[in-house]
Amino acid sequence: MRAALYIRTSTEDQAREGFSLDAQAEQLKAYCRDNNWEISDFYREEGYSCLDTDRPEYKRMMEDSDKWDILLVLKMDRIHCNGENFTQMMDDLGRKGKEFNSV
């Protein structure tokens, strides 16, 4: 299984509270090792809100969907905090035969 790892912080406070990009990356890498998943790529988003999808790395990740099988995030709020956007993403992933998982 090839995994796309999406990591995001929107504020410095999140980084101080253990949600730094590097901390998220380490936890996701460990999860992939535990599940014998290959890491396809990291998509690092710093300083972007989860309220919309107008994020450069998010867009790149979705455009790269032929390079991975599963999208992995640490927590649901790292990818979307808007139910409508999350539902749209899940529909898009489903149409492409992709999976989603949060640690």
Residues tagged active-site: 10
Report CA-CA distances (Å) from 72 to 16, 41, 43, 48.
22, 11, 10, 18
**Collapsed DSSP state (helix, strand, coil) of residue 47:** coil
